[in-house]
Amino acid sequence: MRRLLSLIVVGAIVLYGLGVWLFLLRQDDSLPNRIAGAVVVLAGSRARLAVALDLMDGNAAGTLVVSEESEANDPARYQLCHGAKPTAYKLICRRADPYSTRGEARFVSQLAAVNRWPSLIVVSSRYHLLRARELFARCTRARLIMRGTDADAWWSKAIAVPLEWVKLARAEIFARGC
């Protein structure tokens, strides 16, 4: 029994270490030489919007797609979507249905098809980039450029590693479609 317990503990440590490498140490993709079709900011961490707005300030795309949150969850995002519209770029705000990364991938893929966007810059937390790329790649033919934020709290990142393993396994085993 001790041997089995030891193997389980060692396996968990190895998986956690691999998860840190896969989810937390992932580098951003290089930005394209040409302007992207849209910058897409996924729901979740409040830190994601700042990265997307920096990209828009740098003229990375002509359209910003914001996955909406409630005012309580992200006041800045809510204010952007429900306040005065920006003049420097087109703003599209929509709440995913279902409210998940898969739901976001679905509605963004529809927008990409209608608007004929050749590429998308997808902004999320660094730990979420691997799974978000997998889900978006199943739904759209647009080239994906993934940009992450590291501004999440250390405890959020620590919890994210095992959660991303579970969510990635679910996406790869049980929910393979768009």
For residue 122, the SS3 value is: strand
In angstroms, the CA 141 to CA 3 distance is 48
For residue 9, give the 3-state DSSP assignment.
helix
Strand ordering across the sheet containing 119-125: 90-94, 63-67, 38-41, 119-125, 143-149
Position 105 scores a pLDDT of 97
Q: At CA 14, angle to CA 9 and CA 17, rounded to 5?
A: 125
Dihedral angle sign, alpha carbons of residues 68, 137, 129, 57: negative
Instruction: Place domain 2-173 in its CATH homologous superfamily.
Output: HUPs (3.40.50.620)
What's the predicted TM-score (pTM) here? 0.89
Which residue carries 């050749």 as its tokens? Answer: 118
Please tell me the distance from the alpha carbon of residue 1 to that of residue 9, in angstroms, as a whole number.
12
| Confidence at residue 13, expressed as pLDDT on a 0 to 100 scale | 80
> For position 70, what pLDDT does the model report?
85
pLDDT tens for the 178 residues of the chain, in order: 888 878 887 777 877 787 777 787 888 888 877 889 999 999 989 999 999 999 999 999 999 999 998 888 899 999 999 999 999 999 999 999 999 999 999 999 999 999 999 999 999 999 999 999 999 999 999 999 999 998 888 888 889 888 988 998 898 898 888 9
Nearest to 95 by CA among 78, 75, 120: 78
